């Protein structure tokens, strides 16, 4: 019999929750009204006549104030209480109550901003022109700081290279999508990893790109006009829901967006670019031949899509910048842009990493106050150069450099009797170099790829759940090679970049090799830490393609992984090796062709060699204490 009392209780709970949420939103609106002067949909002019829609919140004071600036492709224009609008109000309140103006602006071609949008392809002069406009306002003290995460951060590095005199500080968070080439890594804004396409931006484009036939505001509309019509229209498209797990499996992948009736122009252009295509070096992506001479407080996450290139950029800027002494780094044990969501018991995927909270606002505003208000505060004395969270021991630690100075690279070799296939094979990981070659082989079928299971990801809809998950269900597959140490006699901290070298052969011209680092608990549960991939044709560099010949053994250095994890006594260190991690990365169809425009693949017979001549290995930065 249906229980109407339970239904009534659930309805009351839902209504109460909604009331609380709406009440909180109303509260922040009122608090912001009480302390700020608000100007909405100010149309800021660029040098080519295009105007960008901008909201300004500034303290009720006659004095001049510094500015925190956020430029975004996302919608903050909703008249009501949408999620992004609420976040914008909260950020504005936090800034204004501390004596800053908060300025938020839509990128060119987004919502009420004029012009045409292109992911990281808008003129870099837009940032320079915006800085000049803000610097010249009567209420500005001439100091600007940048703030934002993900797409609201990715433009900051290229903007910093423009050397505008008003730019005093930046706080990029989860910023990998703005990093092109750095330190030998050619991710090109997270489009690639090791020469294999990361599908996150393909999926993201479907959800955010506005159609060329979208409604457009007539040129010359005034702020008054925009404020009036924004009560009825915020120009936010609502794309039909898509099963991304199914959509990303479509072949040829070049038809991915077309197949789900999305806007395809930008995707069609980008999917054809190879990792070293000249087009990557135009527009808004940062490359390491450009100077960054701006103080920066960098924020990275262990389970974000791009921890390694992000940390590599921090190291590069510390080495090359005129502001090297004003570079700081935080690495949190969270997913993409989830810094402030850490709790007393932070769960990332299935794994608890303990109390990972940090006083983010206090540190960030201490940084701003020092650089934009000229305060002689204690930021430099209280803030470590690098703050990083070590999982396993579940603690915040600090270092002067990354990796920590006490980290020593220690080599672990792959070994087996020739049957490392699956969790139930004989794969071993040890400090002993193998003497005989008993290669492990497997068949990689691109029509039945190894599925992505957790991981360091974002932005793929329902296709992948990011974070750390027990990998044993995946490790039952015969096309995954598993190598595990004996249980550790004492705990080991691994903090830094993880390097790996494989000696491989195949019966196809080209294939991929993947690797995953795992913490195995005494009960057998196996939690992933980081993962990477390498397309073999790019093993000699991204400026050329060198294909394999059957029977030859090739050395492949995979792109580095990164983590900080304490492997407790009784735990084991494990690596998984395969040839696919899908749909995080597109499948190599093993033909030697372009992959993106192909519909059929071939099965590859792949081998991993381990011997004195071919010592396949992983090198771990072990911190000596």
Q: What is the mean pLDDT of each run of 10 residues along the chain (625 residues)?
A: 37 36 69 94 96 97 97 80 74 97 96 89 87 98 97 95 97 96 96 97 90 83 91 85 96 96 91 95 93 98 96 98 98 94 95 97 98 97 98 98 98 97 97 92 98 95 96 98 98 98 98 98 98 98 97 97 98 98 98 97 98 97 92
We report the CATH number of the domain holding residue 11 as: 3.40.50.1820
- Residue 186 belongs to some domain of the structure: no
420: helix, coil or strand?
coil
CA dist 13 and 416 (Å) reads: 57
CA dist 143 and 267 (Å) reads: 37
Beta strands in 239-337 (DSSP E): 286-287, 296-303, 327-335
Q: Name the token pair of 329.
A: 């780094």
- From residue 271, give the alpha-carbon distance in Å to each of 205, 256, 456: 12, 10, 22
User: Are both 90 and 30 inside the same structural domain?
Assistant: yes
Q: Name the token pair of 505.
A: 């052969």
H-helix or E-strand spanning residue 97: none
If phi over 0 gives left and psi between -120 and 50 gives alpha, with beta otherwise, what is residue 324? Answer: alpha
**Residue 83, pLDDT score:** 63
CA dist 174 and 476 (Å) reads: 33
- Residue 462 belongs to some domain of the structure: yes
User: Are both 454 and 537 inside the same structural domain?
Assistant: yes
User: Are both 350 and 477 inside the same structural domain?
Assistant: no
User: Are both 143 and 11 inside the same structural domain?
Assistant: yes
- Residue 274 belongs to some domain of the structure: no
**Residue 3, pLDDT score:** 44
User: Are both 58 and 108 inside the same structural domain?
Assistant: yes
561 strand-pairing partners = 498
Cis before 392 (ω within 30): no
Contact by Cβ (8 Å): 227, 40: yes
Q: Name the token pair of 37.
A: 């002067």
Cis before 403 (ω within 30): yes
**Residue 78, pLDDT score:** 64
Domain edge (last residue) among 371, 399, 427: 399
Range of the domain at 553: 407-623
Residue 281 CB neighbour total at 10 angstroms: 13
**Residue 81, pLDDT score:** 52
- Residue 265 belongs to some domain of the structure: no
We report the CATH number of the domain holding residue 564 as: 2.60.120.260
Domain edge (last residue) among 361, 380, 399: 399
**Residue 340, pLDDT score:** 85
- Please name which of 509, 504, 506, 515 lies closest in space to residue 480, comparing C-alpha atoms: 515
User: Are both 12 and 108 inside the same structural domain?
Assistant: yes
**Residue 6, pLDDT score:** 35
86: helix, coil or strand?
helix
Contact by Cβ (8 Å): 72, 104: yes
User: Are both 474 and 591 inside the same structural domain?
Assistant: yes
DSSP letter (8 states) at residue 364: H
- Please name which of 441, 484, 557, 552 lies closest in space to residue 195, comparing C-alpha atoms: 557
- Residue 528 belongs to some domain of the structure: yes
User: Are both 36 and 158 inside the same structural domain?
Assistant: yes
User: Are both 422 and 379 inside the same structural domain?
Assistant: no
- Residue 346 belongs to some domain of the structure: yes
Angle between helix 83-96 and 4-35 (nearest 10)? 40
- Domain total of the chain: 2
User: Are both 449 and 341 inside the same structural domain?
Assistant: no
CA dist 195 and 596 (Å) reads: 13
Contact by Cβ (8 Å): 82, 356: no
- From residue 415, give the alpha-carbon distance in Å to each of 396, 429, 438, 440, 484: 35, 6, 8, 9, 9
Domain edge (last residue) among 399, 425, 452: 399
- Residue 251 belongs to some domain of the structure: no
User: Are both 414 and 553 inside the same structural domain?
Assistant: yes
Contact by Cβ (8 Å): 220, 586: no
pLDDT 10s digits, 350-363: 999 999 999 999 99
Strands 327-335 and 386-390: parallel
CA end-to-end span of the chain:
64
- Residue 543 belongs to some domain of the structure: yes
User: Are both 532 and 595 inside the same structural domain?
Assistant: yes
């Amino acid at each position: 019999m249906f229980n109407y009392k339970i239904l009534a209780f659930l309805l009351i709970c839902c209504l109460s929750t909604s009331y609380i949420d709406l009440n909180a939103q109303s509260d922040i609106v009122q608090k912001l009204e009480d302390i700020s002067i608000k100007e909405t949909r100010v149309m800021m002019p660029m040098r080519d006549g295009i105007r960008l829609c901008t909201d300004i919140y500034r303290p009720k004071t006659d004095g001049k104030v510094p500015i925190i600036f956020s430029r975004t492709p996302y919608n903050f224009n909703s008249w009501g209480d949408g999620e992004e609008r609420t976040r914008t109000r909260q950020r504005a309140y936090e800034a204004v109550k501390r004596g800053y103006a908060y300025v938020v602006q839509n990128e060119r071609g987004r919502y009420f901003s004029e012009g045409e949008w292109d992911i990281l392809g808008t003129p870099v002069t837009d940032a320079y022109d915006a800085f000049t406009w803000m610097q010249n306002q009567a209420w500005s003290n001439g100091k600007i700081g940048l703030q934002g995460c993900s797409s609201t951060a990715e433009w900051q590095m290229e903007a910093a290279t423009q050397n505008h005199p008003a730019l005093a500080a930046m706080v990029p968070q989860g910023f990998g999508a703005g990093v092109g080439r750095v330190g030998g890594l050619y991710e090109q804004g997270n489009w690639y990893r090791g020469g294999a396409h990361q599908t996150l931006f393909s999926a993201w484009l479907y959800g955010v790109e506005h159609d060329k036939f979208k409604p457009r505001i007539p040129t010359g509309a005034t702020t008054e006009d925009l404020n009036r019509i924004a009560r009825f229209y915020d120009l936010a498209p609502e794309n039909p829901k898509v099963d991304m797990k199914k959509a990303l499996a479509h072949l040829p992948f070049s038809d991915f967006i077309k197949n789900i009736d999305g806007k395809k122009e930008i995707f069609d252009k980008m999917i054809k670019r190879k990792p070293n295509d000249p087009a990557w070096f135009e527009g808004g992506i940062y490359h390491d031949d450009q100077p960054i001479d701006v103080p920066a407080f960098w924020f990275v996450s262990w389970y974000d899509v791009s921890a390694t290139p992000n940390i590599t950029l921090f190291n590069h800027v510390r080495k090359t910048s005129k502001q090297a002494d004003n570079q700081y780094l935080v690495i949190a044990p969270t997913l993409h842009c989830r810094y402030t969501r850490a709790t007393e018991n932070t769960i990332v995927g299935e794994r608890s990493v303990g109390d990972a909270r940090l006083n983010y606002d206090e540190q960030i505003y201490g940084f701003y106050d020092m650089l934009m208000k000229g305060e002689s505060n204690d930021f430099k004395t209280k803030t470590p150069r690098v703050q990083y969270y070590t999982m396993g021991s579940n603690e915040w630690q600090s270092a002067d450099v990354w990796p920590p100075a006490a980290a020593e690279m220690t080599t672990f070799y792959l070994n087996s009797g020739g049957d490392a296939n699956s969790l139930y094979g004989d794969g071993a990981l040890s400090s002993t170099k193998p003497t005989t070659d008993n290669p492990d082989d497997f068949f990689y079928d691109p029509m039945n790829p190894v599925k992505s299971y957790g991981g360091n990801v974002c932005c793929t809809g329902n296709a992948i759940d990011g974070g750390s998950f027990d990998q044993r269900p995946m490790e039952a597959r015969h096309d995954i090679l598993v190598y595990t140490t004996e249980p550790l006699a004492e705990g080991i901290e691994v903090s830094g970049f993880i390097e790996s070298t494989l000696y491989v052969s195949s019966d196809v011209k080209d294939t991929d090799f993947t690797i995953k680092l795992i913490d195995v608990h005494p009960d057998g549960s196996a939690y992933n830490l980081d993962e990477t991939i390498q397309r073999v044709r790019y093993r000699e560099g991204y400026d050329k393609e060198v294909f394999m010949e059957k029977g030859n053994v090739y050395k492949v250095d995979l792109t580095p992984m990164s983590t900080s994890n304490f492997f407790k006594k009784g735990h084991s260190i494990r690596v998984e090796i395969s040839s696919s991690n899908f749909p995080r990365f597109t499948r190599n169809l093993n033909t030697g062709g372009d992959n993106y425009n192909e519909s059929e693949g071939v099965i590859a017979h792949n081998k991993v060699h381990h011997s004195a001549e071919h010592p396949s290995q992983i090198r771990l930065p072990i911190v000596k204490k």
